[in-house]
Structure 1
Amino acid sequence: MEQFDIAIIGAGPGGYVSAIHAAKSGMKVALVERDKVGGACYNVGCIPSKILLEHSKLVQEIQRGNDWGIETPVVNVNFPRLMQRKNTIVQELLENIEQYIASNHITFYRGEASVAADLTVTVGQETFVAKDIILATGSKPFVPPFKGLENSSYYTTDTFFDMEELPQQLTIIGGGVIAVEMAFSLAPLGTKVTMLNHSEDILQTEEPDARPIIRKKMKNIGIELVTNFQFEQFNGNEIHTSKGIYTYENLLFATGRRPNTEIAQQLELDFDGRLIAVNKHYETSLPHIYAIGDLVGGYQLAHAASAEGIYVVDYILGAKRALVDQALIPRCVYTHPEIATFGLLEDQVHQAYTIKMPINTNPKALMEGNVEGFVKLVVTKEEGYILGACVVADGATEILNAILATKNASGTVNELANMIFPHPTVSEHIGDAAKAVFGKAIQQ
């Protein structure tokens, strides 16, 4: 029976990244995947959705050009070609991952894994043993058990990206990040989008001050948003709610994800609710078996799972490194404008100072016509420690990194205030927001 230093079950961002890190650290590695490498992120999640968002963003740029005087009489959307481009990019990225796995001499098993408490792993007719095992099996879409839904047809994010024709109409159930991003990806292309979210507001895990900006933009691009109601039942293509009946041609459930815990249940691991219970080192209730990513809670983000996997490998090797700090994990919403956040939000902190600088005075933002948004810093009053930050702007997911890098380097708001940013850039608004903490902002 072949023996490995470590076996990783699941080749999504948590699994394949930790496998490569382990191999580069000198370990003999086995990696198992029952479907495609890349997991949900690359195949049915963040990568395909962001490609569609780039398409819709380009349509909006063309429309802005018309407003400025660069006139394009007709914009024709060839949706099959857009989806072909999506497929080509995804395939290239998957081939890259396969190459990384091969070039690092990782033994790759394709198939369903069965794991025993004695650390033996069986995949089809092959069995091997590992000194340590990381479970990185990801998650699947969750669809609430609504009355009558069994007689209705619908998409989940696992099936949505197989569409070949642009839908004329789409109703989205949900109001979180995935639901809002999907609405933004199709509405500018010409789809009539209705979003039904029973909660009082959208994006309730995100910065409250960002939500009105996104709601306004949703209205401007023709998305119908219905909130604060109760679902009653589904009847064919009718959705009965406490606010009335809504009909649909196409229906997408974007109502969150649930962890794939089949292996954990076979092993009879301890659970914390629906999640696998782990300690701060991601150790489960069985020795030498770890779990990361969507299996253990925290942020359901690819980069969070990757960071956790790398930490586990280093922990197994005896490296002394800091724990994965949830406050340092950036959270991104790829709407237009984007929302990028890390750390604590304003309403989560007491005895802190918050500065919010609208970007509508920023020269680069004015040049680009992207004046919706702000830079917000949450800092301690005395020392100027950065507790959290939020950027709402075009390109916010890139702009945030200047603040995050400062935080990671143990810098304070003083360093941000003294940093020389290039001009004109949207990111220079970070420096001005930091100066505002001391009452010395230029553009205020």
Structure 2
Amino acid sequence: MADNKYDVIVLGSGPGGYVAAIRAAQLGLKTAIVERELLGGICLNWGCIPTKALLRSAEIFHYMQNAGDYGLKAKEIEADLEAVVKRSRGVARQLNQGVTHLMKKNKIAVHMGEGTLTGPTSLTVKGEKGEEKLTARHVIVATGARARDLPFAKADGKRIWTYRHAMTPPEMPKKLLVIGSGAIGIEFASFYNDMGADVTVVEMLDRIVPVEDKDVSAFLEKSLAKQGMTIMTGAGVEDIKVSAKGVKAKIKAKDGTVSETEFTHCIVAIGIVPNTENIGLDKLVEMDRGFIRIDPFGRTKSKGLWAIGDCTPGPWLAHKASHEGVAAAEAIAQELGNKDVHPHPLDRNNIPGCTYCHPQIASVGMTEAAAREAGREVKVGTFPFIGNGKAIALGEAEGFIKTVFDAATGELLGAHMIGAEVTELIQGYTIGKTLETTEAELMQTVFPHPTLSEMMHESVLGAYGRPLHI
């Protein structure tokens, strides 16, 4: 039994859990991880990574179809959905093996099976080896979340899909309904639209990608409509009837009119539900709509029990989970007597968000509206892709970069981008925010030419009436 006693046990091996385990092991703690399905969790196996592989295939297909724009000729271009999905699964498999290797390298014990807490620092695991009892000085819950179902239309994998079904589709949808326009909904809408499906997106709120700056939402809506998508905002799906051939959806439009439309398939992307039921949490933690309440380092109300990632309050992003995992592991090490470790809490204002549709979206910090609502006087600069040499050379002149500063102090409050490769650019602003930059440092930074990053500089200059190329 002594083998089943640990310093730290992590329940769940997604990007929060496995990173927490690695950091705990690095700090000399005897660490175990419990996983019921696949190491790497949803993100590596069914989420962030394999969707990017799908979207990359769609992007290349899009370029091939528009080869003439680049002075190239390509004939008889076809998409092989089965091969595209196979590539995506291969990418996921490679990363799953990578996490397996990292567990071995860091001497982390892996217990495969369903974990249930029997107290703040003990749990049972039901798996291939039967039932195991594990105890630890500290336990980190990193059980993540799953897709929320429509109450009147549960996902069946045939006609009504969640993101998991949409990643390994049984066939190519001809006419696709996507319910919800957050990152997941918009990425799949973009993928299937590029692959040739007729796509309709229905969003309850008054604009798509509603967490983004409203200028970004407006630009994306125009762009997707130009690409042939039907976008319905301020609209709701009231009922869905499933048949062998497809789905019939009753959609209430913004003006109140209700229409019935037939689709071959439907993707439901209306948010997530935390995986916090039936794992023994009931009396151990405080919850808010199923999400576990934590302090800035991940502590719950029970001593020795911690929580991180998608089972805790948002934003529900892989990189937020990883960061929380490191903070929790370091705080645990400190509690166990390590004086050389200095954990720092997560600053939610400095978490970037990325959506990999076509065009891409990325942002960090406050939107212009949020900054004004918070009573800040702001200076805002916007620079268009059409004013950037590299963007024009790439044939990607669609998009803009917007920066929001505090008018009184010059503090960078937020940055919002839409266009080619912005998901790679956003980190510049994220580092700037973390270093508590003002416009002065950003203006004095030398940006390389020719790059897309020069637009970041121009956007900052624009906020102060000094843009050079517009």
1:158-215 per-residue CA deviation (whole Å, 9 max, x = no partner) reads 3222225322232211121111110101111112222222332211111211112211
Question: For 1:72 and 1:324, how far apart are their aligned partners in 2?
Answer: 49
Aligned: 1:122 with 2:144: no
1:94–1:121: structure 2 CA closer, same or farther, 3 Å change rule? same
Corresponding residue number in structure 2 for 1:352: 378
Question: For 2:151 and 2:275, how far apart are their aligned partners in 1?
Answer: 18
Contact 1:203 1:211 in 2 (8 A): yes
Match among 20, 23, 28 for residue 21 of structure 1? 23
Corresponding residue number in structure 2 for 1:238: 248
Corresponding residue number in structure 2 for 1:381: 407
Letter of the 2:263 partner, please give it. Y
Spell out the pairing of 1:142-161 with structure 2 (5 A cutoff). Answer: 142-146=148-152, 153-161=159-167
Match among 101, 105, 108 for residue 107 of structure 2? 105
Report deviation, 1:64: 3.0
Match among 341, 359, 362 for residue 337 of structure 1? 359
Report deviation, 1:388: 1.0
Report deviation, 1:145: 0.8
Ranges of 4+ aligned residues in structure 1 off by more than 4 Å = 147-153
Contact 1:117 1:286 in 2 (8 A): no
Match among 421, 429, 437 for residue 455 of structure 2? 429
1:95–1:58: structure 2 CA closer, same or farther, 3 Å change rule? same
Aligned length: 444
Report deviation, 1:415: 1.3
1:84–1:180: structure 2 CA closer, same or farther, 3 Å change rule? same
Report deviation, 1:40: 1.2
Letter of the 1:289 partner, please give it. L
Question: For 2:344 and 2:282, how far apart are their aligned partners in 1?
Answer: 32
1:122-153 per-residue CA deviation (whole Å, 9 max, x = no partner) reads 11221121000100000011012127989994
Corresponding residue number in structure 2 for 1:275: 291
Gaps spanning 5+ residues in structure 1: where? none
Corresponding residue number in structure 1 for 2:97: 95
Question: For 1:147 and 1:334, how far apart are their aligned partners in 2?
Answer: 27
Question: For 2:273 and 2:81, how far apart are their aligned partners in 1?
Answer: 30
Report deviation, 1:333: 0.9
Match among 271, 289, 311 for residue 327 of structure 2? 311
TM (norm. structure 1) is 0.95
Q: Structure 1 residues 406-415 or 128-137, which shifts more?
A: 406-415
Corresponding residue number in structure 2 for 1:206: 212
Task: Note the aligned Cα RMSD (angstroms).
Answer: 1.9
Question: For 2:154 and 2:425, how far apart are their aligned partners in 1?
Answer: 45
Question: For 2:249 and 2:383, how far apart are their aligned partners in 1?
Answer: 42
Question: For 2:439 and 2:112, how far apart are their aligned partners in 1?
Answer: 49
Corresponding residue number in structure 2 for 1:133: 139
Contact 2:154 2:160 in 1 (8 A): no
Match among 247, 260, 269 for residue 275 of structure 2? 260
TM (norm. structure 2) is 0.90
Spell out the pairing of 1:162-201 with structure 2 (5 A cutoff). Answer: 162-201=168-207
Question: For 1:222 and 1:282, how far apart are their aligned partners in 2?
Answer: 44
Match among 2, 5, 19 for residue 3 of structure 1? 5
Contact 2:120 2:303 in 1 (8 A): no
Corresponding residue number in structure 1 for 2:338: none
Letter of the 2:132 partner, please give it. E
Contact 1:31 1:107 in 2 (8 A): yes
Question: For 2:308 and 2:154, how far apart are their aligned partners in 1?
Answer: 35
Q: Structure 1 residues 185-194 or 6-15, which shifts more?
A: 185-194
Report deviation, 1:78: 1.2
Question: For 2:175 and 2:188, how far apart are their aligned partners in 1?
Answer: 13
Report deviation, 1:267: 4.4
1:148–1:308: structure 2 CA closer, same or farther, 3 Å change rule? closer
Aligned: 1:286 with 2:302: yes
1:148–1:424: structure 2 CA closer, same or farther, 3 Å change rule? closer
Corresponding residue number in structure 1 for 2:419: 393
Secondary structure of 2:402's aligned partner? strand
Contact 1:115 1:267 in 2 (8 A): no
Report deviation, 1:382: 3.2
Aligned: 1:364 with 2:370: no
1:323–1:251: structure 2 CA closer, same or farther, 3 Å change rule? same
Secondary structure of 1:26's aligned partner? coil
Corresponding residue number in structure 1 for 2:262: 247
Identical aligned pairs, as a percentage?
30
Contact 2:11 2:139 in 1 (8 A): yes
